[in-house]
Amino acid sequence: MTGIRLTKPWRDLDEVEVALLPGQLGVFEIADEEGSTLELGFAGGHSRFGLRSAIPDAAARHEQAARFRYEVTMQYWSRFEELLAVHVADHGEVPAGNADRGDRRIGRIAAPGS
Amino acid sequence: MDFELSTEQKLILETVRRFVREEIAPLEADLDPDASELPPHHRERLVAMTKELGFYGLDIPEEYGGPGIDLTTRTLMAFEMAQHRAGLYAPCYGVFGGAGLAQLYEADDDQKERYLYPVLRGEKRGFFALTEPSGGSDPARAIRTTAVRDGDDWIIDGEKTFISGADKADFGIVFARTDPELGRKGITCFLVDTDMPGFRVRRIVHTLRSTHYAAELEFNRVRVPGRNVLGEVNQGFAIANDRLSRNRIPYAAGCVGVALKAQEMAIAYAKTRKTFGDYLSTRQAVQWMIVDNEIDLRTARALTLEAAARADAGKPFRTEAAICKLVASEGASRVVDRAMQIHGGYGMTKDLPLERWYRELRIRRVGEGPNEIQRLIVARDVIGGSFH
Ligand SMILES: Cc1cc2nc3c(=O)[nH]c(=O)nc-3n(C[C@H](O)[C@H](O)[C@H](O)COP(=O)(O)OP(=O)(O)OC[C@H]3O[C@@H](n4cnc5c(N)ncnc54)[C@H](O)[C@@H]3O)c2cc1C
């Protein structure tokens, strides 16, 4: 099964790349220099400029943020839940930046290869 | 049919209406437009309120500790509870509590201890897995998942798709073929724990709806103990059908609820928005859209209440339940569509709830049995015969 993980190319977190981001809705991943995920997020219906504002806003919460990747999708809510579940299947826990979910449950997905 | 409300019903409806307007709607201003859950602290606060009001666990039968509300009153409440952005699939974000899967009430005492009561206490969640890639309208013929006896156990192999909430569930009600020769009489219903080896949620099936989104499941030699057979072996199809007609009535009521709100919004907007020097409400084209909305709404509302009243009176109501499901899902879709048209560009935006209702209502014409199947049920009942 393909298409469950975010496989889009990583981009450097700099002004040029951020300015190129689309204003659409979608999901994204923020990572440090080594590619360890710091936060998974989505640009939802309330985001001012879609991914273009949601990604830098999320990155600003992480000092080590160095790169990001994203996927444009209108189904950002269920796709975000799917990415969280796959991350937990791969790493056993949610990224540090997503630890504030209270008691909201994470789905259990048997990630491909597991 | 006379639908004069009793004093008690009026009081209940006024309470629910106020709850939606004062407690639910303001929270939605801050939530993402596709959100299907409340932040935990708000959820806890509102659950405490519904418990205080005596409305928690609305759909739980009285003998299991529910408030014993009849279906007509429940239907009237559902009209109100759906009148917010998430209202179609997450009326009041579930703070009135759930009743669990209807089929669990058919379980034996041991199964009730292990599944039903934990669900009613909010400790466990379940899913309902009937549909397979081979089809959902005619599951009796389409089910290819098999369960084969092995000593006291059963070994389940196969796949299911479009199963709502499966990735967050602790167990599921799973239908599998136990006798390939017997058609609809060869299907058995199993209680499958999601931590049983061989059970996998493969992926989420992304649809127009984000609430209780659906998943694709795999059963790879899942060993299920014999005590997890729900009901009788080879009688699973009767369990699948159980309460199906009854469920269609609140299902229809949710459609009516969002349509009522959409109509209220359309009227208010038409009375304030001016084009070419006058209000939209003065244009006959717009008036007729509002009139057509009113006709769709009143038809769906009356037919839904009629089905509920027949069920409460202990009369047969399968035809009425099928009719109200299809009339309400189709009528509400038209109402929301016209309300969007009246709102122009704003109607298409995520600033308003209309676009979410539009997407989710589309699913209502396929979910709980596609509307063609509802027509089939009515045809069977009014013409007679067993054609399919
Ligand atoms: C968001 C979502 C959530 C769902 N959740 C669940 C769930 O939790 N559990 C579960 O078991 N299923 C679930 N379903 C599946 C749903 O019940 C099925 O999609 C539905 O029963 C139709 O089955 P199908 O998709 O296989 O369509 P098919 O059975 O292949 O039918 C396709 C279409 O053909 C038409 N049709 C079929 N038969 C006839 C006929 N005799 N005459 C005329 N027209 C006909 C209908 O228009 C139908 O829509 C969900 C579906 C969705 C979209």
- Say whether pLDDT at B354 is over 70: yes
Q: Given CB atoms, is A111 within the 8 Å cutoff of chain B? A: no
**Range list for CATH 2.40.110.10 in chain B:** 126-230
pLDDT band of A3, cuts 50, 70, 90: low
- Say whether pLDDT at B260 is over 80: yes
Q: What is the pLDDT of residues B43-89, one digit of tens each?
A: 999 999 999 999 999 889 889 988 889 999 999 999 999 999 999 99
Q: Given CB atoms, is B163 within the 8 Å cutoff of chain A? A: no
- Nearest one of B6, B7, B44 to B23, comparing CA atoms: B44
Region B276-285: mean pLDDT is 98
Its ipTM equals: 0.88
Region B257-262: mean pLDDT is 98
**Contact criterion met (CB below 8 Å) for A71 and A6:** yes
Pocket test for ligand 1, best of B138, B141, B161, B162 (most atoms within 8 A of CB): B162
- Whether B80 sits among the annotated catalytic residues: the reply is no
Cβ distance of B206 and A44 shorter than 8 Å: no
Residue A105 lies in a domain: no
pLDDT band of A2, cuts 50, 70, 90: very low
Residue A107 lies in a domain: no
User: Structural domain tally of chain A?
Assistant: 1
Q: What is the pLDDT of residues B103-151, one digit of tens each?
A: 999 899 999 999 999 999 889 999 999 999 999 999 989 999 999 999 9
Pocket test for ligand 1, best of B366, B373, B387 (most atoms within 8 A of CB): B366
Q: DSSP assignment of B241-292, as one string?
A: HTTHHHHHHHHHHHHHHHHHHHHHHHHHHHTT-EETTEEGGGSHHHHHHHHH
A45, A102, A108: residue with CB nearest B33: A45
Distance separating alpha carbons of residues B199 and B219, to the nearest angstrom: 5
Q: What is the pLDDT of residues B155-178, one digit of tens each?
A: 999 999 999 999 999 999 999 999
Residue A97 has a CB neighbour count (10 Å cut-off) of 17
Q: When comparing pLDDT for B301 and B245, which is higher?
A: B301
Domain that holds residue A93: 2-98
Residue A54 lies in a domain: yes
Residue B209 has a CB neighbour count (10 Å cut-off) of 24
> For residue B129, which atom of ligand 1 is closest to its CA?
11
- Centre of ligand 1 to C-alpha B372, Å, is 10
The total number of residues shown for chain B amounts to 388
Q: Name every residue whose Cβ is closer than 8 Å to that of residue B83 and which is 6 or more positions away in sequence.
A: B17, B20, B257, B258, B260, B261
Pocket test for ligand 1, best of B131, B206, B248 (most atoms within 8 A of CB): B131
CATH number for B126-230: choose from 3.40.50.720, 3.20.20.70, 3.40.50.800, 2.40.110.10.
2.40.110.10
Q: Report the gap between the CA of B22 and the closest CA in chain A (Å).
A: 22
pTM to 2 decimals? 0.94
The CATH classification number of B7-101 equals: 1.10.540
Residue A109 lies in a domain: no
CATH number at residue A71: 3.40.1440
Q: What is the pLDDT of residues B304-353, one digit of tens each?
A: 999 999 999 999 999 999 999 999 999 999 999 999 999 999 999 999 99
- Say whether pLDDT at B242 is over 80: no
Distance separating alpha carbons of residues B356 and B352, to the nearest angstrom: 8
pLDDT value at residue B388: 61
- Beta-strand pair B171-177/B126-129: parallel
Of B118-122, B182-186, B362-366, where does the model show the most confidence? B362-366
Region A92-109: mean pLDDT is 86
Q: What is the pLDDT of residues B191-204, one digit of tens each?
A: 999 999 999 999 99
Q: Which residues in chain A have Cβ-Cβ distances shorter than 8 Å to B33?
A: 44-46
**Contact criterion met (CB below 8 Å) for B188 and B235:** yes
pLDDT value at residue A63: 95
**Contact criterion met (CB below 8 Å) for B34 and A76:** yes
Please tell me which residue of chain B has the smallest CA distance to A43: B32
Q: What is the pLDDT of residues A30-78, one digit of tens each?
A: 999 999 999 999 999 999 999 999 999 999 999 999 999 999 999 999 9
Cβ distance of B35 and A81 shorter than 8 Å: no
Region B287-309: mean pLDDT is 98
Report, in this order, helix, strand and coil percent for chain A, each rounded to 5: 30, 20, 55
pLDDT value at residue A26: 97
pLDDT value at residue A103: 66
The total number of residues shown for chain A amounts to 114
Q: Given CB atoms, is A109 within the 8 Å cutoff of chain B? A: yes
| Weakest mean pLDDT among B3-12, B43-52, B96-105 | B96-105
A45, A46, A108: residue with CB nearest B201: A108
Cβ distance of B36 and A46 shorter than 8 Å: no
- Say whether pLDDT at A1 is over 50: no
pLDDT value at residue B1: 61
- Say whether pLDDT at B182 is over 50: yes
Q: Given CB atoms, is B201 within the 8 Å cutoff of chain A? A: yes
- Centre of ligand 1 to C-alpha B370, Å, is 6
Q: In 3-state terms, what secondary structure has residue B135?
A: strand
**Range list for CATH 1.20.140.10 in chain B:** 238-383
Cβ distance of A45 and B37 shorter than 8 Å: no
- Say whether pLDDT at B367 is over 90: yes
CATH number for B238-383: choose from 3.40.50.150, 1.20.140.10, 3.30.300.20, 3.10.310.10.
1.20.140.10
Distance separating alpha carbons of residues B94 and B56, to the nearest angstrom: 10
- Centre of ligand 1 to C-alpha B162, Å, is 9
pLDDT value at residue A113: 56
pLDDT value at residue B101: 86
Q: Report the gap between the CA of B63 and the closest CA in chain A (Å).
A: 30
- Centre of ligand 1 to C-alpha B132, Å, is 10
- Nearest one of A87, A86, A80 to B32, comparing CA atoms: A80
pLDDT value at residue B286: 98
Region B356-370: mean pLDDT is 96
**Range list for CATH 1.10.540 in chain B:** 7-101
Provide the sign of the torsion angle of the four alpha carbons A88, A92, A93, A95, taken in this order: negative
Q: What is the pLDDT of residues A73-92, one digit of tens each?
A: 999 999 999 999 999 999 99
**Contact criterion met (CB below 8 Å) for B87 and B79:** no
pLDDT value at residue B300: 98
Mean pLDDT of chain B: 95
pLDDT band of A95, cuts 50, 70, 90: very high
